[in-house]
Structure 1
């Protein structure tokens, strides 16, 4: 699975937002963009998507900006990634979206011997990401070995 810049930047921005203020006060978009070296215009698009999904709220005007809509320990990394990335499935025949049935996407669906491999990968990635919260990411300072 390859993660897009949108998802990478979105998760970094959410961690920065949580560290800067969390739910306490709004943080100007420019502050988040500068702290994470994210192009402000792109971050604006990402934050709009996260706002529509209910992860952040925005306040206009002087003293405005973005803040988490709930505490960092209540925000699942998996939910964030699905909002920004879409399906976590590595191939189309096991996606959860409504673009079509698996049978209509792949002629080999019923006899495919590798489909279960990709299903297991999807389940493992989904479970791993859903088990993490934004608070876990904020406080996890020990890199895992790959």
Structure 2
């Protein structure tokens, strides 16, 4: 499975915010964009969503910026990816993914009830789709085991790279 740039930039933005020396200080979005050499306008959309989801706190104005809204141990990576990825389909024949509740976590599932052969003649009898759906769920399940804090064990090295 391949994550979109959107999810990648969201993860990297959270890492940036988590490694800064003074966690309570606000960071300018331009600083993050420059550090990663990514588009400020694209990053602004991502940060806006992260703010709506409660991952970051955003303040407008001269002394504004962004900072983490919660401790890195509280940011589950699997949950973040569920929020930032809009499609877990591994192959073209997957129908639109549905979100189901499972132990208070949202797990991506695929609707297999379709008999549509729009993309593939064998779709109604295909045994590959369930295996790929299981693989996508396994991918997310692995990410559920990690928090943002797990990616900060080399915090000093990361901070040096940002400077």
Query: TM-score normalised by the shorter chain: which range applies?
Result: 0.7 to 0.9
| Bigger fraction of residues in strand | 2
Q: Does 1:135 align with 2:137?
A: no
When normalised by structure 2's length, the TM-score is 0.73
Tell me, in whole angstroms, the C-alpha distance in 2 between the residues paired with 1:117 and 1:45.
Answer: 34
| Bigger fraction of residues in helix | 1
Partner in structure 1 of residue 79 of structure 2: 79
Tell me, in whole angstroms, the C-alpha distance in 1 between the residues paired with 2:154 and 2:115.
Answer: 39
Unaligned runs of at least 5 residues, structure 1: 142-146
Partner in structure 1 of residue 68 of structure 2: 68
CA RMSD of the aligned region, Å?
Answer: 2.7
Secondary structure of 1:88's aligned partner = coil
2:135 to 104, 115, 121: 121
Residues 21 and 66 (structure 1), Cα distance of their counterparts in 2 relative to 1, 3 Å cut: farther
129-138 vs 104-113, greater mean Cα deviation: 104-113
Tell me, in whole angstroms, the C-alpha distance in 1 between the residues paired with 2:88 and 2:22.
Answer: 27
14-23 vs 47-56, greater mean Cα deviation: 14-23
Count of residues in Structure 1 that have an aligned counterpart in Structure 2:
140
Structure of greater Rg: 2
